[in-house]
Structures are given as C-alpha cells and as structure tokens.
Amino acid sequence: MQPYQKFLSEVLIPEQELQERIRELGKQISEAYTGKDLHLICILRGGVMFLTDLMRSISVPHSIDFMAISSYGAGTRQASGHVRLTMDLRDDIQGRNVVLVEDIVDSGYTLASVLGLLATRNPASLKVCTLLDKSERRETEVSLDYVGFEIPNKYVFGYGLDLDEYYRDLPFIGVVNEEKYTPPED
C-alpha cells in the first residue's frame, strides 16, 4: 500500500481523463492565440503540474513566468488588489497577452487578488485558465475563461495540489479521506 492511500477516499479524476481534458484546453488556447504573443503565468506551487502538461498541448509559441503569494489565515481574507506577493514575476507583462494558470478556484479570493494586481500592470489582455473549479464555494465573483473540471465541494489533492506539501506528484486528482486528514480551515 502506497503512503498516500490512507488519505485517499476516492479518485475523482483519473490520469487519462485529466490528460485528455488538458489536451482540449491546450487546443482551445492555441486557437484563441494563433498569431498572438502568449504569456502564461503560473501561481506556485499548485499550478506547476498543470502548467507543464498544458504547455505541451499548446501549439503556438508562448513564454512562461511564475509568481508566489502568501495565503491568508481564516478571517483575514483580503479583497481584490490586496494580495501579498512572496515572489514576483521575472518579466514585465505590459502589453502582453497573459493567461493565468491556476490549479483550483475555491472561494475565488486568491484569484481575484492576483487578477487585481496583474491588471495594474497593463497587460494587453488577461485571461484565466483553471484546472479545477469548486464553484459551489465561490464567495467573490471571478470570471474564468478556461475550466478543466467543475468539482464538488470536497477537499482534493494530487496533480499539483498538496496534503501538507506532499503528494503533488500524483498523476490523478483524489478526494481526501477526512477521517484520516483534517484539511486547513482556509
């Protein structure tokens, strides 16, 4: 038995389904950005697996960059524009066609904050591609341009998403067994 198995209640999205959907998203993005300069921005660390597979499905030339942000504790969530960066982008995004690549949108606060910040830097366009959307949990409105999967209100891990920093490497999205693992409040 693999160590992660005791935390897993079910596989929500198996590897093949993930990969097929990512290929479709890559195709859609390639069509939308044909003849345009495309710049992908990934929020560390959860989006990394998705970014690298998505890139291999995008057939138009594109560049990438990374940013990291602090996560606020419960009850201290900030509205758009108040995200605290722990690692900024390397490159300027002014005049560029940016697609923000996210692992999961839950309440929407993280995304709203990051979008608010990026918008102040005057990109030519700013779109969002998220692998997972827990839309039931939304607390602030955010518009999502590309969505891999709508998922139910369950705590998930694998494929970039961690359990206390482990198991990001799993090739599938699994539902956490809440009897064996207590997810963070926020």
Residues binding ligand IMP (CB under 6 A): 46, 103-111, 155-157, 161
Residue 46 CB, shortest distance to Mg ion, in Å, is: 5
Q: For Mg ion, which is the closer residue by CB, 121 or 168?
A: 168
Q: Which does 97 bind (CB under 5 to 8 A by kind): Mg ion, ligand IMP, none?
A: none
Residue type, position 8, single letter: L
Q: For Mg ion, which is the closer residue by CB, 46 or 158?
A: 46
Residue with the shortest CB distance to Mg ion: 46
**Catalytic residue from among 53, 103, 106, 133:** 106
CB 15 within 8 A of CB 90: no
Residues 6+ apart with CB under 8 A from 99: 29, 33, 38, 39, 40, 41, 127, 128, 129, 145, 146
Q: Which does 50 bind (CB under 5 to 8 A by kind): ligand IMP, Mg ion, none?
A: none
Residue 8 CB, shortest distance to Mg ion, in Å, is: 18
Residue 162 CB, shortest distance to Mg ion, in Å, is: 7
- For binding to Mg ion (CB under 5 A), which residues are involved? 46
β-sheet bridge partners, residue 130 = 102, 147
Grouping H, G, I as helix, E, B as strand and the rest as coil, residue 166 is strand
Burial label for 174, CB within 10 Å (0-12, 13-18, 19+), is: buried
Assess whether 37 carries a catalytic annotation.
no
Helices and strands in the chain: count of H runs, count of E runs: 3, 9
Q: For ligand IMP, which is the closer residue by CB, 8 or 111?
A: 111
Catalytic residues: 106
